[in-house]
């Protein structure tokens, strides 16, 4: 798995979820970082609700050099728009709507993992998912940010063909 695979997978989720409905003509899926979201999204081609994929970091589980695992920790954001960020009833409605969509997405990821047909989510553990409510007054956006970890076996064998040696 690489980052491009993860982007494609999340774009598919945004396209296939009936409440998001991403298409090339009506964009609901984007690749932003959280600081871009919190700083205000100033684009005219966005539609709500939005599914935003952030980048990821990674670490390794060595298991004493047997069965090395690469753990990718990333996040996605579901974002809605409110007319007045002080209308807390509407903000709470949007959070409720987005939480339902988020539960749907997590259920789909879990199903895709179990089917073993989607390599990008080969090992996904719901216990490692965490959601946080977010509010952006600059753009009147309310949303939920989900962090997750996807793990996969990592080949760490030395390949002499990838090295110039002087031996």
Q: In the chain, where are the structural domains located? A: 3-152
Give the other-Cβ count within 10 Å of 89's Cβ. Answer: 6
pLDDT in tens, 127-154: 999 999 999 888 789 999 999 998 888 8
pLDDT attached to residue 156:
81
CA distances in angstroms from 48 to 14, 69, 98, 165, 167, listed in the order given:
11, 36, 10, 54, 60
pLDDT attached to residue 139:
79
pLDDT attached to residue 167:
65
Computed over every residue of the chain, the mean pLDDT equals 91
CATH of domain 3-152: 3.30.70.1700
pTM score over 0.75: yes
Give the residue ranges of the chain where pLDDT is below 70.
65, 167
């Amino acid at each position: 798995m690489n980052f491009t695979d993860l982007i494609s997978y999340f774009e598919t989720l945004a396209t296939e979820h009936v409440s998001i409905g991403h298409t090339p003509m009506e964009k609901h899926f984007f690749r932003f970082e959280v600081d871009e979201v919190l700083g205000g999204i100033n684009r005219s081609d966005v539609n709500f609700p939005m599914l935003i994929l952030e980048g990821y970091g990674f670490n390794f589980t060595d298991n004493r050099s047997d069965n090395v695992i690469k753990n990718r920790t990333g996040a996605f954001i579901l974002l809605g728009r409110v007319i007045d960020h002080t209308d807390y009833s509407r903000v709470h409605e949007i959070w409720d709507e987005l939480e339902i969509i988020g539960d749907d997405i997590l259920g789909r990821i879990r199903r895709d993992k179990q089917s073993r047909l989607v390599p990008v989510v080969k090992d996904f553990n719901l216990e490692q998912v965490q959601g946080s409510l977010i509010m952006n007054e600059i753009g009147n956006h309310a949303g939920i940010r989900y962090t997750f970890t996807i793990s996969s076996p990592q080949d760490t064998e030395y390949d002499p063909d990838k090295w110039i040696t002087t031996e």
